[in-house]
């Protein structure tokens, strides 16, 4: 019988790529999510019955244990960028990760991969970065043989980074950003998935791997690349951190005062803290080289999914060519 992997958060941006790779490798895949009816798109990743969305809440022991029963390996992809009333950084990224690892150890699961993030720091003033580090510690406490992957900003067709700012570029001549000079090392989503697949199917040394793409760029440079890709000109305006903190506080208070009915989808105070720090692979850290993976460049991938933001969408190149013919 083929091996079984349970992927917590397997319908999310990174998780779906890991699920697809594990299915292609011949594994049975359980995609553990809060809303299985919204994750049915993962079923065609394999043959009939090979990939199944299942109900799970990482805040509950019984729920986590139920979907893990019989699994040969587990992957934790669960994470949040902003809190709501029940899903806080502590309950999801710290306690949830520790819970999955503890139950995996109790169930005798052989391998575990945990998706964290560059910048994880137990002493950080950012709750996101602090709980990422606490989650890592909880995983290694119970599963010392686990592989922890820390990607920089992840890009790909479903990302909430380039897609978000490309959509904002439609609104007017100005593109505002916070932390224009902060450096990032964007990594392609399928490269992260390949790293997880190797950790599950090959002999990989346990511990932390920091994953960054071949390009290190400032936030401003990333926006310039995005604008060049979608054939638009916009004035990139840097919002000072003091102003961003005021904005984050205001939006956070609106969400709190509305009891969560109005969600802060703009920027939070915690996100401002993270944007003040470079998000690149640390010196001396193990990364793609140690896994035998050559990460792909942004310029080779971005045009494949950002074309829809061009002035004429998929016909932009044809119209440009036609203009050249008339001249």
- Tell me: the pLDDT tens digits for 72-91? 999 999 999 999 878 999 99
Chain centroid offset of residue 7 CA:
14
DSSP per position, 194-236: HHHHHHHHS----EEEEE--S--EEHHHHHHHHHHHTT---EE
| Residues sharing a CB contact under 8 Å with residue 324, sequence separation 6 or more, in sequence order | none
In eight-state DSSP terms, residue 93 is I
Of the pLDDT bands very low, low, confident and very high (cuts 50, 70, 90), residue 312 is: confident
Match 């000079």 to its residue by tokens: 181
Q: Over 80: is that where the pLDDT of 315 sits?
A: no
Residue 322: C-alpha distances to residues 292, 317, 319 (Å) = 44, 9, 5
Structure-derived torsion over alpha carbons of residues 82, 158, 190, 310, reported in degrees to the nearest 10: -130
Half-sphere exposure of 327 (CA within 13 A, CB side): 6
- Average pLDDT of the residues of the chain: 95
Q: Over 80: is that where the pLDDT of 1 sits?
A: no
Query: Looking at the domain that runs over 4-156+186-212+280-291, which CATH code has it been given?
Result: 3.40.50.720
- Tell me: the pLDDT tens digits for 118-135? 999 999 999 999 999 999
- Please count the helices (runs of H) and the strands (runs of E) in the chain: 13, 13
Q: Over 90: is that where the pLDDT of 327 sits?
A: no
Of the pLDDT bands very low, low, confident and very high (cuts 50, 70, 90), residue 262 is: confident
């Amino acid at each position: 019988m083929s091996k079984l992997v349970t992927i917590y958060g397997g319908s999310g941006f990174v998780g779906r790529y890991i699920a697809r790779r594990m299915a292609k490798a011949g594994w049975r895949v359980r995609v553990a999510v809060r809303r299985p009816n919204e994750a049915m798109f993962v079923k065609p990743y394999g043959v009939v019955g090979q990939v199944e969305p299942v109900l799970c809440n990482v805040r509950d022991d019984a729920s986590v244990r139920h979907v893990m029963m019989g699994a040969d390996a587990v992957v934790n992809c669960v994470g949040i960028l902003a809190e709501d009333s029940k899903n806080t950084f502590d309950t999801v990224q710290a306690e949830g990760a520790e819970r999955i690892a503890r139950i995996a150890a109790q169930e005798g699961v052989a391998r575990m991969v945990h998706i964290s993030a560059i910048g994880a720091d137990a002493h950080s003033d950012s709750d996101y970065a602090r709980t990422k580090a606490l989650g890592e510690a909880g995983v290694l406490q119970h599963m010392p043989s686990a592989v922890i992957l820390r990607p920089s900003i992840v890009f790909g067709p479903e990302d909430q980074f380039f897609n978000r700012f490309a959509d904002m570029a439609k609104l007017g001549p100005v593109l505002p950003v916070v932390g224009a000079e902060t450096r990032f090392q964007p990594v392609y989503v399928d490269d992260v998935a390949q790293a997880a697949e190797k950790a599950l199917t090959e002999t990989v040394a346990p511990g932390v791997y920091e994953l960054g793409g071949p390009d290190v760029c400032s936030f401003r440079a990333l926006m310039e690349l995005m604008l060049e890709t979608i054939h638009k000109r916009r004035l990139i305006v840097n919002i000072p951190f003091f102003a961003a903190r005021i904005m984050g506080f205001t939006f956070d208070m609106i969400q709190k005062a509305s009891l969560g009915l109005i969600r802060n989808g703009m920027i939070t105070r915690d996100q401002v803290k993270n944007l003040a720090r470079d998000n690149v692979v640390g010196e001396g850290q193990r990364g793609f080289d140690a896994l035998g993976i050559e990460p792909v460049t942004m310029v080779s991938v971005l045009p494949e999914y950002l074309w829809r933001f061009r002035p004429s969408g998929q016909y932009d190149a044809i119209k440009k060519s036609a203009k050249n013919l008339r001249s």
